[in-house]
Structure 1
Amino acid sequence: MRKLAAPILLSLALPALSWPQAASKLAPDARAFVKEDAPVLALTHVRVIDGTGMAPRREQTLVIRDGKIAALGDAANTKIPEGAKVLDLSGRTIIPGLVGMHDHMYYPAPGGPPALYPQHAASFPRLYLAGGVTSIRTTGSIEPYADLELKRSIDDGKMAGPKIQVTGPYLEGQGAFTLQMHQLKDAEDARRTVEFWIAQGVTSFKAYMNITPEELGAATKAAHAHGIKVTGHLCSIGFREAASLGIDDLEHGLVVDTEFLADKKPGACPNPAAANKALLTLVVASGPIHEMIHDLVAHHVAITSTLPVFETFVPNRAPLDSRVLDAMQPEARISYLRRRALISDGAAKSDWPALFKKELEFEHEFAKQGGVLLAGLDPTGYGGVIAGFGDQREVELLVEAGFTPLEAIHIATANGAEFLGEGDKIGTLAAGKQADLVVIDGDPSGNIKDIEKVETVFKDGVGYDSAKLIESVRGLVGLR
């Protein structure tokens, strides 16, 4: 997206050093949220959605040992090891842990200018995990040192949270809207920035709205020399030009692609309203947009869907979820509801209903044409999208876009894992993989809203209590 009332930010990330993390090694602050920690655990009579897109399997047994899936199969044929703790999960479903691919660790501060995005290292790790998100890519960092230290604290068992792949600081050109971003001076500055942050431990980068083609080219070349991918929330550069410069991923989708504005100047971010108007005159299934899709697919460029943040700009569309409102501090809740009301008041003149519909259509068509679609939430905008809850909403909105529930879950799990190079460890459920999975009280393959009914989230075989995690940060979002 571009400069709306509160601009949407982005990011990328670190390899999840995914060692099994026994509950006995957890510090008290993390252990407080553990629900299941038996050395050997058998989940029985459960429905399994394995993340491959295949049909659910009923009456299954999944055995967890040493942080990994030791066995998975029909209950009648899968032996339960002697001494294992047995959980009867009749009526419940397990899915792979979600892999959030646009999951920042910051949130917009309530109040007026300047635009600030404080780190939410206290609330967001717990909310991501509570929502069933076991791995994230931060896809743009405001406080990269804090993100790196947070990752280490979680990996060391000092805090409860997902596995984090840390993206470096935004690669932004001249004209940043927030004081928290370094503005690149030239291509050499871009190269130096990439090299410096690779040495600090980040494993992806995100280009931002005002980056120049020369800066993006230099950053991408430097990152690729280290085997590191670059994504982007772009405005100054169109999608096809970014693909030609070697970008690996593009955030948000069609509604931020400015290349369709006839009088767009090279290397300059145009007026957002004008760029949006240009999209409204085009169709997705043919013409310039379809040509762009084929170009991205040919260059193996992925798209990260962030439908929840765009939904908040559509008048009266985003659900007023009590879970989200309860998580906010009072000032953040008031700020969000006030801005939501102003958007509602302007409904008659809003282009967002049509833009959002076109974005849904674009993402489905992109995948249909062979593109790799990833899933995230983007907890920015004007504050209506929150860690964990927004990741669940993203899966629901993918279903609205035309994907089946099983396809949507596949996008939100396996696709992200494969893109991060972690597909052999996470993203699907199979013997030998890490025991990162979500227990749901219901059947999201039949009713995708059931994805919100998370009971227990297993990460490396340790089961965390979703309700306890959520309650522990009630009223903190907007503060820390």
Structure 2
Amino acid sequence: MMRRRVAALVAAALSAPVMTPVKAQRAPVGPATRSYVKVDTNVLALTNVRVIDGTGAAARDGQSIIVRDGRIAAVGAASTTAIPAGAQVMDLAGKSVIPGLVMVHEHLYYPVGAGTYGNLTESFSRLYLAGGVTSMRTGGNMNGFAELLIAQAIARGEKPGPWIDATAPYLEGPGMGFNQVTILRDSSEARKLVEYWADQGATSFKAYMNITRDELKAAADAAHKRGLNITGHLCSVTYREAADAGIDDLEHGFFAMNDFVPGKKLDTCSGRGGAAQSMLAQADPEGAEVQALFKYLIDKKIAVTSTLTIFETFTPGRPMPPGTDVLIEPLREQFAQRYASTQRNTQSVYAKAFPKGMAMERAFAKAGGTLIVGTDPTGGGGVIAGYSNQRALELLVEAGFSPLEAIRIGTLNGATYLGRGALTGSIAAGKLADLVVIDGNPAARISDIRKVQLVFRQGVGYDPAVLIESVKGKVGLW
């Protein structure tokens, strides 16, 4: 559960020695995956590279990374780090290596119209990997078993994609009208749904906007008994009430917060949309009320997930999101029309709420809160797997974080929340070789995060260009 996973940022992992014995754990590569792989060798040396290790420490130039059987065997100065006999050597002069991105509000579905979401497990899993995502949590499930099954297939090497923490279908009460979600009637049903999906292999849970406090507590208790986390995109329950109910994480930064909406009724979704965003636009991140809420969440060790990419699509004056060219034509046109409409909306509450939401996230982290990051490919579209993950880090920098801080939020913070900080999320001897090779220096220019040349998951190097080409113009079909 969250209280155990985020108590500290795995200090032992950060102080690992330069050389350490490693256990073989290279990712399996099946026949259907082979065409996407560019590097597959037992022993690999990445030399003369700039290392941005994910801890927030300054970039180190002139480094070598030795990979053996899927794990990092050594990291150190290229001039003194021995290259093992028989290693495949890649000279990466002028390039950077960062840890694989660990993103925690992702989806394997996409809006296709009429309140319905299409199952894009095949194309999105490839795009996430191409964008540098090597680990991810799905932040709610509209596909039932599909997400659990593709997570298992990726683990077996039958399909390309990140390691997936697969979240069960949403825990939701009546009100939203989704035709792909079971509606809870009481706390007993909430507990039973958690137990059922945990038995089926789900490894996370997500509460949604019309859940009650009692249902949320029942779900949190049931999840924690299995050692699993529960997050939430809330409305009927305030952030403070959710903390009392045992939630581990709050989605969408402070855009979903309605703690300060006047007349908020218990267990009732009030203030959704305009009212909540209006309150956010007026909130003072340094004010006593907001700082008290931050402290309450921090004291209970509750993380907050930034999803600025989805809110950017609601905000006039923002650039067209990257990656929409991979969509099938009807979905591409559908979003283009929506984007044009957003730009014409001179009365949009998001014009003020979006920058204030950024400021709230920065203030929460500054107060000592644990910020993690994801993208949320829902809303009205335009948030495209892989591309949006890179954009998410750019937006964190726009919000006031340094590039090194943004990279840490997108790597080690996420890995630590998922309980995998000792395995991945930073570049250190003994960890999985989850690495991204970038043609540039994102520590100096965060926009270089888009220049991904190679993505290693457990020591196997995937070609992002081949992954993208395999789905381009088809995203929306599968």
Task: Indicate conservation of the 8 Å contact 1:168/1:203, yes or no.
Answer: yes
- Is 1:144 the counterpart of 2:147? The answer is no
Task: Indicate conservation of the 8 Å contact 2:56/2:408, yes or no.
Answer: yes
TM-superposed CA distance for 1:281, in Å, is 2.5
TM-superposed CA distance for 1:19, in Å, is 7.7
Tell me the distance in 1 between the aligned counterparts of 2:368 and 2:136.
24
Tell me the distance in 1 between the aligned counterparts of 2:321 and 2:205.
33
2:369 to 349, 368, 371: 371
- Is 1:328 the counterpart of 2:343? The answer is no
Task: Indicate conservation of the 8 Å contact 1:144/1:167, yes or no.
Answer: no
Tell me the distance in 2 between the aligned counterparts of 1:288 and 1:341.
37
Task: Indicate conservation of the 8 Å contact 2:321/2:383, yes or no.
Answer: no
Amino acid aligned to 1:34:
V
Q: Secondary structure at the match of 1:256?
A: coil
Amino acid aligned to 1:197:
W
Structure 2 counterpart of 1:80? 83
- Is 1:59 the counterpart of 2:62? The answer is yes
Q: Secondary structure at the match of 1:60?
A: strand
Amino acid aligned to 1:282:
A
Alpha-carbon displacement from aligned partner over 1:137-175 (angstroms, at most 9, x marks no partner): 012111231111101111111110000111111000111
Structure 1 pair 320–298 and aligned structure 2 pair: CA distance change class (3 A): closer
1:19-418 to structure 2, matched below 5 A, reads: 20-22=25-27, 25-109=28-112, 111=113, 113=114, 115-271=115-271, 272-321=273-322, 324-346=323-345, 348-418=346-416
Amino acid aligned to 1:311:
E
Task: Indicate conservation of the 8 Å contact 1:304/1:375, yes or no.
Answer: yes
Alpha-carbon displacement from aligned partner over 1:162-204 (angstroms, at most 9, x marks no partner): 0011111100011133100111010000010011111111111
Tell me the distance in 1 between the aligned counterparts of 2:72 and 2:380.
40
Amino acid aligned to 2:316:
P
Q: Secondary structure at the match of 2:109?
A: coil
Tell me the distance in 1 between the aligned counterparts of 2:463 and 2:391.
20
Alpha-carbon displacement from aligned partner over 1:382-415 (angstroms, at most 9, x marks no partner): 1110111111000010001111000000000000
Which deviates the most, 457-466 or 270-279? 270-279
Task: Indicate conservation of the 8 Å contact 1:21/1:157, yes or no.
Answer: no
TM-superposed CA distance for 1:287, in Å, is 2.8
Task: Indicate conservation of the 8 Å contact 1:417/1:426, yes or no.
Answer: yes
Unmatched 5+ stretches in structure 1: 1-17
TM-superposed CA distance for 1:85, in Å, is 1.0
Amino acid aligned to 1:99:
V
Task: Indicate conservation of the 8 Å contact 1:107/1:383, yes or no.
Answer: yes
Tell me the distance in 2 between the aligned counterparts of 1:144 and 1:226.
20
Tell me the distance in 2 between the aligned counterparts of 1:457 and 1:41.
14
Alpha-carbon displacement from aligned partner over 1:190-229 (angstroms, at most 9, x marks no partner): 0100111111111110000000111101111111112111
Task: Indicate conservation of the 8 Å contact 2:64/2:81, yes or no.
Answer: yes
Tell me the distance in 2 between the aligned counterparts of 1:61 and 1:391.
27
- The count of corresponding residues between Structure 1 and Structure 2 is 455
Tell me the distance in 1 between the aligned counterparts of 2:24 and 2:129.
17
Alpha-carbon displacement from aligned partner over 1:9-38 (angstroms, at most 9, x marks no partner): xxxxxxxxx98245xx52222110111112
TM-superposed CA distance for 1:316, in Å, is 2.8
Task: Indicate conservation of the 8 Å contact 2:320/2:339, yes or no.
Answer: no
Tell me the distance in 2 between the aligned counterparts of 1:125 and 1:320.
19
Q: Secondary structure at the match of 1:310?
A: helix
